[in-house]
Each structure stands twice: as structure tokens, then as C-alpha cells.
Amino acid sequence: MVGLGLLVGAVLQRTAGAQADTSRARRDTSRVRRDSAGIKVPGRPTADSVLRDTLAKRDSLHPKPAVPKDTIKAPYTRAPMPVPLEIGQTLIYERAALFATGAVTLQDLLDRLPGVTGLRSGWIASPMVSSFQGDVRRVRVFFDGVEYDEIDPRTGGILDLTQVGLWTFEELRIERGATEVRVYTRTWRIDRTTPYTRTDISTGDQQTNLYRGFFGKRFGGGEGVQLAAQQYGTTPPLRGSPSSDQLALLGRIGWARGRFSIDAFALRTNRNRGTVFPQAIRGVTILDSVPALQSSRTDAYVRAGYGDPERGPWLQAIASSLGYAITHQSSGIFGTTTSDTSKHDTTAFRAQYIVTGGVTAGPLRIEAAERLRIGDNQRLATPSGRVEFVTGPLAVSAFGEGRGPDSLARAEVTGRLTPLPFVSFLAAAGTSTDHDTLASGSTVNFLRGEAAIRVLGLWLGGGVLRRDSTLLVPPRVFTTKFVAVESPAATGFLATVRGTLYQALKADISAIRWNDSTGFYRPRYQTRSEVYLSTNWLSRFPSGNFGVLMSLSHEYRSSTKFPVGDASSFSAASVPDSRLYNFHLEIRIVSAVLSYQFRNIQGVPYELVPGYLMPRLNQFYGVRWEFWN
């Protein structure tokens, strides 16, 4: 075929060359005198040139639709949040910084704080509870001003932190008050007319796969829509670990213009967790299990607001609802289990109606709120207020709150003084009253004091935590064999090292030692040491489109005790001490982040709750990628 084509081409070419060019006219022999004036008069355009000119002008005759420029609209109102008063660190995490910590759950983040002890029975789907100074009631979470209540009848009102999704937040602040730890969060908002999308994909050991997707857009009139979802599944290979999955859906619609805004938000979380069976390594084994759980939780609110809590006068009104439905079954396949005493089919509902407002003028902020809860055939009104003054070397914050669903009323004040750039002092005092126990010992006093000196780039500090004797409520989500006990007064001594070691190399080290070894839900010795490298390498990438975060951490806990028994007597079950090494790496290229973490590098067996073995050699890695398109 190729040869035939060449032959035909040769014949046709020869024939074409032999033909006479009839289109050629006789050459003009007359010579035209050159125009001495040098003026060129354009001739009339030919048909072809007219067509070309018409095509060239088509864009001007029929212009393309203009591409709208990205416009930043007035943001939806945001919840008031305090300024955490700390020395040598900030407990304020914006969205990028929050994910860069490597925390998969809220408990991962809280474990960084001295005085906080995380209790969990497994990987990301297993129940998690954190105690502060040994009291599991002393950790609370707020999202957009709404308190994250726990209404699962099996938990006894103690919040299971697996239900708090870090992925929904755009900002998180942790306030270490004298009486408790409060976590304030703002859910993800969008303020641009250019559509925003983001995709997160992660996988790892324990047969874990996690997916997230985000979409948000604002419109010209101030309207907006946001959609997001997260799904994960995990099937740990251990004999006593459950196969679990979770699906969460988020949505927001709203409108904002100037200082006014109104928006509606909903978050629905469906959980499916298998039975968690005991599998102790050392210490006392509690022959119990965490029953299987299939539940759905829906948090929703409608919010109207005027102004911004960060400046000027502001006012907000929120009507929120919490719906919780649970169905589960008990199983005894791998050994003895305690029957689940709660109903197998449970539906609960609670509403919160909140009116809050205040004024922010420079360093001074004053706010007040009234919170009305309706549910379980009860009404509970909880007033609260805060005065905050933060400027230069002086910062003071006073907070008070009436009786909440945990029956506690609180009042505390915190102050920080930095008289010199390298010297800082912090003090806090507070009191809480248990209205369910109106005895002489129902009021508990708390104290916290710290001092630090800066040497080169490091803050070297020490301090003390103290609380009076108090009633410790059991975290029954792990087992019904934990009982309430009276705990004597306790004092803990702190040591911290935070700051820059050399250029981009930094350290975050904290340790606490309690005055006794008999306290429950807290080890006597607890340390966390992290050395990390954090840099954008601007000398090589001045655009800022590259960043690296690499850290190595070590966590130590001495033996932790748990009260086990009944109404008449109890004994102390314990978990042995543990030493863990963890590695974390984040690489950012423009708007894509590659993440890798390796927990428990040495693969040591350990427990945080008696009888429940934690994962060994646990790797988790993935990518986060966002687009403005």
C-alpha cells in the first residue's frame, strides 16, 4: 500500500507540472514611476481579507462572557472564644495547624496537655474519655457556642470523644482553666464566591481507610452553601478488636451581609462498632466488654447574629437540637460479657436555646449568655459570663457559669504577668459546686500556678496543680464495674520546656508528678516529649509553596489505677506503665499535604484501660488536597 501511494503521488505530481498555468496574466511591461511623496494608499480589501478581518473582530462583535472575579463576602457570624492564657505555647489551632498536629481524634490533641489523661480501649472507633486531675467530668467541648452534650444512656453523661469530629472545625482553642479543660471550636465556614473543594484520603494499619470531601461556595447576594462528608472503616486484626465504620454528613446554608447573618447547620454521624472484647496483657483483667453499637447522632442549629465577637458590640441567638438513636446487641462469642443494661432501641432528644452577646473594645471583652436546655422531661437554665482583658504584659480572664447538666456550677479567674520579655508568671484559682450533693464537701477548690524563664529560644518552666477532695464519677462506657469513689486532695508538680532549640528545630516537653500513687484515672508520673522540625524553607522556595514538619515524640505513663467493685466495696484494678515512641511527617507542596505517622514504633504491648489492648506498630498515611476553582 505504501508503494502504491508513492507511485500515485509521483504520477500526479508529474501531470500537474505538465499543465499550463492559465491563471497567469501577461507581465506588465510598463514601468510605474515611484511615488515620491512616500504615501501608501491602501487598496480595497479583497474578499479573503474581509473575511479574515471579520473573524478577527468576532470577539469584539460577540464578546465572551466575562469571568467573574473572586469576591470575598461578609462571613457568617462566629462563636465567641476566649484567649487561652499560657506560657511558651499557644493552644489556638486554625484549620491547617489542627490537621498538621497529626491528631486523628480530639483525644490525640488533649493528650498533649499536662494534667490530662486519655483513657481509651482501642483505635479510632473505640470509646475515648479524658480526665483532668483524675476527674472525667472536667473536660467539656463547645461547637459554635453550643455545648456538646452526651445523651447516650450507657456513658452516664460523660462525653465519648469519638463523637467529636475534628474534620468539621476551622478553629479550635483549648482553655486550661483552674477547674476544668474547655475546648471551644468553630465549624468550617466559607466566604468566597469561587467554589472551594477539598479531598482527604488516608489509609494504614488496622485495615483503616478514611475519606473526606468538602465543597463550599458563596453567591453574589451573600448566600452560601457548604457540603462535606467523612467515612472511615477499620478492622483491626486482633482477636478482641471490633470491625467498625462511621459515616458523617455536614451541611450549611446561610446568608450574610454587612454585620448581619443567619445560617442553618446540620451534622449527622452514623456509627457502627463491633463488640470490644477484653484482652489483657498484664495487671488485672476485667471480664467485661464494650457492647456493639449502631447509633446515629444529629446536631443541628439555626443561628442569627449581629456583629463579630472579636470587635465591637455583638449579639447571637441560637436554636439547636440534638437527636440520638441507638440500637445494639450484646455478644459473648469470645468469652464472658456483661449484658447491656440499657435499652436496645433508644431515642433521645435535647434542645439548647442560647442567647449571648457582649462587646469587645481593644483589649477588653465582656460577654454574657443564657443557655436553656429542654429534654428528658426537664428544663435547665444555665447563665454564664466572662470578662477578659489581654494587653501587653498583663492578661486577666474571669469566668463564671451556673449549674449545668453535670450538676456542677463553676467560677474561676486566671491571670498572666510578663514583666520582662524573658520572665512570665501565671496563676489561676477556681471553685465548683456539685448541686446533686449539697453537703459540706460539695464545693471543691482548685489552684494552678506556673512560672517560666526564657533562655535563648526556650521557655523553662515549672508549676503546681492542686484540687480538694472530690467525688470521682466512673467512665461507665468501658465497663459497669467501675464505681464512684471519694478521692482525697491531690497536688501535682509540673515541669515544661518549650520553644526553639536551633532555627527550625523546636521542642515541646512536659512532665507531671502527683504527690500520691493511689489516685484513680491518672498515673503518678506522666511525661510527653516532642522534638520537631518545622520550616517552609523560604531560602529555597521563596514563594512559600513548600513546607516540612517532622517530629519524634515519646510518651510515658506510670501505672494507672481504676476503682472496681459495687456499692458496698471496691478494689483497685490497674494497667502497667507504658513507654511509646511516635513519628510524624508532613510535606506540603502548594495546596497538597502528604501525611505519614507511625505510632508505637517499637510495637510494645500496652493498655490505657484494664483489659483492652492498644494497637501495636500502627501506621497511618494519606494526602489532603484543596482547590479554589
Specify the pLDDT at position 155: 87
In CATH, what is the architecture of 92-628? Beta Barrel (2.40)
Residue 371: partners with Cβ closer than 8 Å, 6 or more residues away = 147, 352, 353, 354, 381, 382, 383, 384
Specify the pLDDT at position 245: 93
Residue type for position 372: L
Long-range CB contacts (< 8 A, 24+ apart) of 229-236? 230/165, 230/167, 232/124, 232/125, 232/208, 233/207, 233/208, 233/209, 234/123, 234/124, 234/125, 234/206, 234/207, 234/208, 234/209, 235/206, 235/207, 236/122, 236/123, 236/206, 236/207, 236/615
Specify the pLDDT at position 51: 41
Q: How is residue 61 written as a grid cell?
A: 462583535
- What parts of the chain have a pLDDT lower than 50? 1-62, 67, 329-339, 341, 440
Specify the pLDDT at position 445: 96
Specify the pLDDT at position 251: 98
How many CB atoms lie under 10 A from the CB of residue 261? 24
The whole-angstrom separation of Cα 268 and Cα 247 is 8
Specify the pLDDT at position 56: 42
Specify the pLDDT at position 55: 40
Q: Give the closest residue to 178 by CA, choosing from 411, 389, 513, 367.
A: 411
Three-state SS at 336? coil
| Residue 290: strand pairing partners | 276
The whole-angstrom separation of Cα 277 and Cα 333 is 9
Specify the pLDDT at position 49: 45
Residues shown for the chain? 629
* C-alpha distances in Å from residue 371, one per residue of 30, 247, 374, 381: 104, 30, 10, 6
The whole-angstrom separation of Cα 583 and Cα 588 is 17
CA 270 distance to own-chain centroid: 18
Specify the pLDDT at position 106: 96
The whole-angstrom separation of Cα 46 and Cα 43 is 9
The whole-angstrom separation of Cα 103 and Cα 140 is 18
Specify the pLDDT at position 568: 77
Specify the pLDDT at position 345: 57
In the chain, where the domains are located:
92-628
Residue type for position 294: Q
The whole-angstrom separation of Cα 115 and Cα 131 is 8
Q: Give the closest residue to 519 by CA, choosing from 465, 479, 568, 597.
A: 465
DSSP state letter for 106? H
Q: Give the closest residue to 408 by CA, choosing from 77, 590, 138, 17.
A: 138
Are 140 and 160 in contact by the 8 Å Cβ rule? The answer is no
> Which pTM value belongs to this model?
0.86
